[in-house]
Amino acid sequence: MKMIMKSKEFRRKLYYGGSFVLIAIILTSVFAIYPIINSLVLSTTSGKGVVTEFVGLGNVKRILADDVFKQALKNTFIYFVFQVPIMLTLALLLATLLNDRKLIGKGFYRTAIFLPCVTSLVAYSILFKSMFSVDGIVNQTLLFIGLIDQPISWLRDAFWAKVTVVLAITWRWTGYNMIFYLAGLQNISPSIYEAAEIDGASKVKQFFYITIPMLKPVILFTSIMSTIGTLQLFDEVVNLTGGGASSPSLQATITLTQYIYDLSFKYVPNFGYAATVSYVIVFFTAILAVMQFRVAGDDRG
């Protein structure tokens, strides 16, 4: 009798459990797996709009000869190489400073630094566009203190436009990463720092030999997430410079995701070629993630 009751209970749990899992499987298949497979198939086609033909690896050959794609790839990696290390280093330093138990008003500082990441992308892009215009407050301030003799074309010069984009992204996302580091720091026992201080370790040595090693999993996580975000950079470039800085034809600040958007909606639509370019982002994201796992010494990479 007990065996029969256990069997019925098992079937009941299996039925209800399977029902919940089945719903998740269906939703994941419809909204995640199917789009991935469909985009992969789409990347082997080319044509205008919905009128397409199978080209196999033709889109890959086209990428290798596409100057705009090369410029977009170059710009994306420039943002990645400069912005991600600066942002994560700044976030880690701020988190360390704001983790001090003796600091007065640290709640205010934490909130103030975190607030940019909850602001509207369009709103803060417009704000930066106004601040960094030729007659904006940034140029006026630099002229007033004598650092420059004439206004800088922050949004029209190819070099300074990239600098402005990096500054904008750093301002917005530093606080976001700082919160992760703060959470990690609060899980480190104060007794470890106290023991190190008794042994004569300076604050700098404590930072490099205690804080960084113990935050390695968090640093790895923020590095990968920041890498993904930077390779998908779109809003800031479109709203600040339109991708072209001084001239749209120069594509001075265009990124891969903006190029995908242009291929799909701005130029004559070529969804097959756009899908191929999108898989370039997937490829580099995977490669960089594996590299970061290896550098961090994580065997799961």
Cite the DSSP H helix spans in 232-267: 235-240, 256-261
Alpha carbon distance 71, 42 (integer Å): 24
pLDDT at 1: 52
pLDDT at 245: 53
Q: Which range, of 19-33, 67-81, 156-170, 219-233, averages the lowest pLDDT?
A: 19-33
More confident residue, 1 or 211: 211
pLDDT in tens, 169-221: 999 999 999 999 999 999 988 899 889 988 888 888 999 999 999 999 999 99
Q: How confident is the model at residue 16 (pLDDT cuts 50, 70, 90)?
A: confident
262 has pLDDT over 80: yes
CA atoms 99, 104, 108, 113: torsion sign? negative
Nearest to 251 by CA among 64, 72, 78, 66: 72
Query: Which residue is associated with the tokens 């410079």?
Result: 241
Q: Which tokens sit at 41?
A: 């198939």
Q: Please give the pLDDT value at position 4.
A: 56
**What's the full length of the chain, in residues?**
301
Q: Is residue 157 classed as helix, strand or coil in its secondary structure?
A: coil
210, 192 contact by CB (below 8 A): yes
Specify whether the CB–CB gap between 205 and 196 falls below 8 A: yes
| Average pLDDT of the residues of the chain | 88
Q: Which residue type sits at 17?
A: G
* CA distance linking residue 38 with residue 40, whole number of Å: 5
Which residue has better confidence, 197 or 7? 197
